[in-house]
């Protein structure tokens, strides 16, 4: 089906563009979140793995530094495996298994080891505890061997350390605390920027090697001399080593990197008998654990692009199908509204969604418009008919008088005046209806005594009723008030009484009553006339409608009285109803709000 709307302005194009934009934004956001989440997950997993690996290696190196062999390391390996969730296997350099967290893991070892556990050759790290020294040694500080102090020396040094702490507190008001080095020697740490013990508080016992340390240092000095001789080094004389394995002050000028290497080599040779031999460590992930991988290779990028293209293609296809189904009934509505005949062609309602409701509403609107147009045409025809008769009568009598066929006497003038009054009455009624339709009908409401108003209105029509042999009655209680325009309300009741008297045969009865009902006041005009058929009740308030088509406008009125009644009552915020039983009674009820 063709359309006058350009494609770029069509609903289909806008829906398609919106869907594509939403898809692109969704895909881009999803891809970014995926990359971001994956990157964070990988970083966290790698960070956790590095932390676990460092903890495993440090724990096993500490075990090797404090034990002469690997005997009994099984419990430590099991504890590490449980805390990290990793599978651990510890072997000798020849891959003989020393300990394993799972027996099946020891049967199939990876090709390369994860780390070498050797307390005499550790990886240098700033995070390691070097026992308070500043030198970058690759020997685990927990490997102390012959430098471990016996209990007696520890007690003596601890007593001297406490004395220094007390002196610092009393002399300098300085807070200090004692830490224990791997050898068992107590060391002082002073809080604050200054970490120097003043001479008055310095203890000679803490500054000098103990007998155990002195013996170990003598042994180390001999090993350093032997290394220097092998490497043709010029050694200081005398060669002395401090407790932190530095060359003594007398030979400080002769110290060199080669001499430091000899000190390191001598320490390894001295400690080799006191630590466990080097071992290989194999660390693998838990069973079923998948390593996080995010592939951004050309093939991976191509897969992402293909997936994006498929998503966009599916989005476009679905959007086209949905938009076409959505636009088709809208185009049908537009075509029906622009039918060449000028009449609305009913659009079939095939769906129960918003489009279906729109089609049903348009069908209802078109039907109401056609009814309104038909009523307008009929009303114009009726107005022309109503005005034509009195005008024809007036013109006919005037032409007859002009031609000398009729005498312009009092009877002729009275007849012409009557026809002119009828014209004026129709024009006034139409003016009232036009003002009510336009919402410009002005009311002047005030509080009225309803009993008095009813009596006055009935009195004005009582003479007409007597002339027709119709009995009248008023049924209204006293002290019943209502707020309304007295002129318009008398017009309402006058029209209803005129119709009731006109349609009631001699011997009949017309009643005008008022009563209070919940939230309103009801005024009822009843008669015992010919009544109104059930099929005619919905049309009694239509303009220019008469229940008896045979009635002339002299006996049946202009057909506007009941229309005016309804408009005036609605202008007061009320409503008018009618009920009738043919040849028994007809009752018009006007309800006005209190």
pLDDT in tens, 435-485: 767 777 788 899 999 999 999 999 988 988 999 899 999 998 888 899 999
Closest CA to 307 of 6, 34, 17: 34
Q: Quick one: 461 and 331 in the same domain?
A: no
Asked if pLDDT for residue 489 goes beyond 80, the answer is yes
Q: Quick one: 458 and 585 in the same domain?
A: yes
Phi then psi for residue 553, to 5 deg, are: -70, -15
Q: Is residue 92 part of a domain?
A: yes
Element of type H or E holding 451? helix 450-467
Q: Quick one: 460 and 488 in the same domain?
A: yes
Closest CA to 91 of 360, 281, 326: 281
Query: For 561-585, what is each residue's pLDDT tens digit?
Result: 788 888 889 988 999 999 998 888 9
Q: Are 515 and 477 in contact (CB under 8 A)?
A: yes
Q: Quick one: 153 and 53 in the same domain?
A: no
pTM for the whole structure: 0.47
DSSP E strand boundaries for 228-342: 279-284
Distance (Å) of CA 225 to CA 237, 469, 515: 11, 157, 134
Q: Quick one: 165 and 217 in the same domain?
A: yes
Asked if pLDDT for residue 331 goes beyond 80, the answer is no
**53 vs 457: CA distance, rounded Å:** 109
Q: Is residue 525 part of a domain?
A: yes
Q: Quick one: 210 and 242 in the same domain?
A: yes
Query: For 242-260, what is each residue's pLDDT tens digit?
Result: 777 777 654 444 467 888 8
Look up residue 251 and give its DSSP letter: G
The pLDDT value given to residue 164: 84
Paired residues of 178 in beta bridges: 188
| CA 465 and chain centroid, separation | 74
Query: For 225-237, what is each residue's pLDDT tens digit?
Result: 888 888 888 877 7
The C-alpha angle with vertex 202 and arms to 200 and 207, in degrees rounded to 5, equals 155
Distance (Å) of CA 170 to CA 107, 164, 165, 167, 176: 65, 10, 9, 5, 11
Q: Which of 406-415, 511-520, 529-538 has the lowest mean pLDDT?
A: 406-415
CATH number of the domain to which 393 belongs:
1.10.287.130
Q: Quick one: 201 and 317 in the same domain?
A: no
Q: Is residue 224 part of a domain?
A: yes
**415 vs 399: CA distance, rounded Å:** 14
Q: Quick one: 251 and 284 in the same domain?
A: no
Domain stops at, among 221, 243, 271: 271
CATH number of the domain to which 515 belongs:
3.30.565.10
**393 vs 412: CA distance, rounded Å:** 11
Q: Quick one: 419 and 470 in the same domain?
A: no
Q: Quick one: 452 and 569 in the same domain?
A: yes
Buried (b) or exposed (e) across 404-413, using 16+ Cβ within 10 A? eebeeeeeee
Number of domains in the chain: 4
Asked if pLDDT for residue 548 goes beyond 50, the answer is yes
* Domain boundaries, position 420: 376-438
**272 vs 7: CA distance, rounded Å:** 88
Q: Is residue 153 part of a domain?
A: yes
Domain stops at, among 288, 313, 338: 338
Q: Which of 86-90, 95-99, 207-211 has the lowest mean pLDDT?
A: 207-211
pLDDT top residue among 304 and 210: 210
Q: Is residue 349 part of a domain?
A: no
Q: Quick one: 300 and 241 in the same domain?
A: no
Confidence label for 551 from pLDDT (cuts 50, 70 and 90): very low
Query: For 148-171, what is each residue's pLDDT tens digit?
Result: 999 998 998 898 888 888 887 777
The C-alpha angle with vertex 292 and arms to 288 and 294, in degrees rounded to 5, equals 145
Confidence label for 126 from pLDDT (cuts 50, 70 and 90): very low
Look up residue 290 and give its DSSP letter: P
Domain stops at, among 395, 412, 438: 438
**131 vs 138: CA distance, rounded Å:** 13
Q: Quick one: 456 and 589 in the same domain?
A: yes
The pLDDT value given to residue 594: 78
- Rounded to an integer, the average pLDDT of 185-195 is 71
Query: For 27-49, what is each residue's pLDDT tens digit?
Result: 777 777 677 777 777 777 777 77
**433 vs 382: CA distance, rounded Å:** 15
Q: Is residue 360 part of a domain?
A: no
| CA 586 and chain centroid, separation | 61
Confidence label for 497 from pLDDT (cuts 50, 70 and 90): very high
Asked if pLDDT for residue 530 goes beyond 80, the answer is yes
Paired residues of 304 in beta bridges: none
**18 vs 24: CA distance, rounded Å:** 10
The pLDDT value given to residue 53: 85
Q: Is residue 127 part of a domain?
A: no
Closest CA to 226 of 199, 271, 194, 266: 266
Look up residue 241 and give its DSSP letter: B
**83 vs 77: CA distance, rounded Å:** 10
Q: Is residue 474 part of a domain?
A: yes
Element of type H or E holding 334? helix 298-337
């Amino acid at each position: 089906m063709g359309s006058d709307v350009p494609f770029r302005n069509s609903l289909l194009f806008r829906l398609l563009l919106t869907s594509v934009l939403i898809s692109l934004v969704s895909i881009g956001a999803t891809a970014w979140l995926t990359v971001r989440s994956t990157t964070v997950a990988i970083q966290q997993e790698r960070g956790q793995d590095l932390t676990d690996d460092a903890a495993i290696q440090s724990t096993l190196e500490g075990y090797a530094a404090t034990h002469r062999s690997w005997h009994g390391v099984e419990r430590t390996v099991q504890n590490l495996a449980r805390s990290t969730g990793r599978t651990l296997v510890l072997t000798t350099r020849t891959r003989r298994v020393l300990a394993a967290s799972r027996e099946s893991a020891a049967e199939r070892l990876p090709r390369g080891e994860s780390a070498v556990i050797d307390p005499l050759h550790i990886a240098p790290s700033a995070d390691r505890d070097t026992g308070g020294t500043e030198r970058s040694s690759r020997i685990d500080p927990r490997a102390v061997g012959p430098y471990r102090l016996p209990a007696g020396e520890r007690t003596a040094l601890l007593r001297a350390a406490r004395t220094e702490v007390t002196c610092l507190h009393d002399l300098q008001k300085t807070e200090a605390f004692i830490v224990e080095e791997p050898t068992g020697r107590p060391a002082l740490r002073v809080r604050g920027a200054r970490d120097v013990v003043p001479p008055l508080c310095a203890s000679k016992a803490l500054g000098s090697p103990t007998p155990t340390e002195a013996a170990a240092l003598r042994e180390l000095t001999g090993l350093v001399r032997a290394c220097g001789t092998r490497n043709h080094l010029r050694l200081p004389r005398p060669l002395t080593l401090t407790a932190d394995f530095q060359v003594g002050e007398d030979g400080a000028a002769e110290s060199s990197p080669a001499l430091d290497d000899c000190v390191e080599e001598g320490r390894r040779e001295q400690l080799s008998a006191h630590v466990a031999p080097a071992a290989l460590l194999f660390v693998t992930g838990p069973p079923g654990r998948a390593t996080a991988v995010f592939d951004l290779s050309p093939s991976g990028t191509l897969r992402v692009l293909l997936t994006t293209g498929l998503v966009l293609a599916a989005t476009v296809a679905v959007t086209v199908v949905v938009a076409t189904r959505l636009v088709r009934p809208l185009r049908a509505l537009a075509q029906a509204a622009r039918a060449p005949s000028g009449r609305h062609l009913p659009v079939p309602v095939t769906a129960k969604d918003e489009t279906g409701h729109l089609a049903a509403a348009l069908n209802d609107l078109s039907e109401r418009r056609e009814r309104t147009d038909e009523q307008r045409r009929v009303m114009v025809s009726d107005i022309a008919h109503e005005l034509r008769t009195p005008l024809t009568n007036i013109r006919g009598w005037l032409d007859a008088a002009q031609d000398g066929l009729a005498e312009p006497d009092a009877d002729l003038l009275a007849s012409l005046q009557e026809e002119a009054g009828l014209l004026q009455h129709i024009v006034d009624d139409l003016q009232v209806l036009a003002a009510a339709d336009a919402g410009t009908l002005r009311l002047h409401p005030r509080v009225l005594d309803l009993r008095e108003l009813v009596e006055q209105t009935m009195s004005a029509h009582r003479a007409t009723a007597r002339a027709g042999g119709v009995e009248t009655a008023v049924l209204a209680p006293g002290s019943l008030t209502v707020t309304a325009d007295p002129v318009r309300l008398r017009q309402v009741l006058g029209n209803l009484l005129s119709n009731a008297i006109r349609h009631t045969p001699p011997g009949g009865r017309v009643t005008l009553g008022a009563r209070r009902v919940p939230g309103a006041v009801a005024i009822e005009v009843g008669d015992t006339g010919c009544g109104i058929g059930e099929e005619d009740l919905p049309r009694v308030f239509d303009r220019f409608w008469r229940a008896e088509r045979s009635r002339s406008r002299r006996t049946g009125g202009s057909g506007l009285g009941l229309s005016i009644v309804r408009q005036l009552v609605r202008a007061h915020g009320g409503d008018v109803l009618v009920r009738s039983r043919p040849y028994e009674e007809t009752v018009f009820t006007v309800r006005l709000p209190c």
